[in-house]
């Protein structure tokens, strides 16, 4: 089955134990349009060609054969395949070995594994200033 939606625990290698695989696009399927996944604890896997816009409140995984040309808005995206376009992630973006991201990204955390590739601009929110030093701690001295 190259296209599907269901509610089943997913492969532990693709996300956290709290995430449920709710759908997938497998090889042999090409989709153009808007994909909207509304569960924040969901995991959606793309292993085919998708062109358009993706709104995913959960974890989006673009696996090895995945080829995404889209404006992406998600909580977390993991790329083993290829993503071309602007990616907005509210938590993090992981680019795995052989994963490719071409385009601008907006995320508070970016992880590029050895062998992963990113070409674009990375926009991160300014870090929160430290409110106070822990009681009894000494601030680091500049070198």
Q: What are 88-114's pLDDT values in tens digits?
A: 999 999 999 999 999 999 999 999 999
* Sequence ranges of the domains in the chain: 3-123
Report long-range pairs for 6-14 (Cβ below 8 Å, ≥24 apart).
10/43, 10/45, 14/43, 14/45, 14/59, 14/61, 14/78
DSSP 87-137: EEEEEEEEE-TT-EEES-EE-S-EEE-TT-EEES-EE-PPPPPP--PPTT-
Closest by CA to 119, choosing from 92, 83, 90, is 83
Q: Examine the pLDDT at 56 and tell me if it is beyond 50.
A: yes
Task: Quote the CA–CA distance of 107 and 89 in Å, as a whole number.
Answer: 5
Specify the pLDDT at position 140. Answer: 63
């Amino acid at each position: 089955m190259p296209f599907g939606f269901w509610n089943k625990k997913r492969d532990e290698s693709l996300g956290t134990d709290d995430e449920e695989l709710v759908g997938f696009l497998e090889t042999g399927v090409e989709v153009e349009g808007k994909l909207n996944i509304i569960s924040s604890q969901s995991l959606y896997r793309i292993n085919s060609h998708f062109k358009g816009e993706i709104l995913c409140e959960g974890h989006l995984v673009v696996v090895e054969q995945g080829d995404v040309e889209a404006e992406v808005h998600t909580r977390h995206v993991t790329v083993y395949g290829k993503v071309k376009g602007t990616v907005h992630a509210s938590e993090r973006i992981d680019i795995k070995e052989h994963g490719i991201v071409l385009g601008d990204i907006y995320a508070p955390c970016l992880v590029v594994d050895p062998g992963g590739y990113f070409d674009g601009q990375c926009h991160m929110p300014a870090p929160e200033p430290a409110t106070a030093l822990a009681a009894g701690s000494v601030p680091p001295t500049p070198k």
